[in-house]
Amino acid sequence: MAGHLLTLVADRHLTALSAELSALVQTPRGQPVRRPLYRGVLTWLVTALADVVVARLGPAQDGEAFVLEVRTTAGRTVGAGELPPRQSRVGRSVLPLLAGDRALARAQLAAAERDPNPAVRATTLVEALIWLDALLDAETPPFPDPLPE
């Protein structure tokens, strides 16, 4: 399912993407909740993001850590920790994975899944999809930069 959504983003099939996301985040009355499917899709996307970052940049070395900074529309650069939790769940899930803290990543993913607002759950998926699509399309060398000697 996550791969299908990623293809819809890459091919810019936004109407189909919208329909798929609605089905994932909203439960029609009388229908069973699909949160396990949502959790699986978001977990796959976040894990793929972490894997692509490591594949492109290499693993963090001893004493190093990955940092996520976002440029606001006002041109200000802010760290993931400065963003409201609902607006940074993807980053707050990827960073712990990159640091090897799977428990913290699971806690962030669980918070996203439990959010009562379907629009927030959909936005979280869209954020992960767009970020992963952009990383996969980014021109980077085939191997991480060599370590300085």
Contact 46, 94 (CB under 8 A): yes
Residues 6+ apart with CB under 8 A from 4: 20
Identify which of 2, 13, 11 has the alpha carbon closest to the alpha carbon of residue 125.
2
Q: What pLDDT is stored for residue 86 in this prediction?
A: 72
Position 93 confidence tier, pLDDT thresholds 50, 70, 90: very high
What's the whole-model pTM score?
0.82
Residue 146 binned pLDDT confidence (cut-offs 50, 70, 90)? low
Distance between CA atoms of residues 16 and 76, nearest Å: 34
pLDDT score at 33 = 56
85 band by pLDDT with thresholds 50, 70 and 90: confident
Report the b/e string of 91-103 with b at 16+ CB within 10 A: bbbbbbbbeeeee
Residue 28 pLDDT exceeds 70: no
Range of 9-13, 56-60, 113-117, 145-149 with top mean pLDDT: 9-13
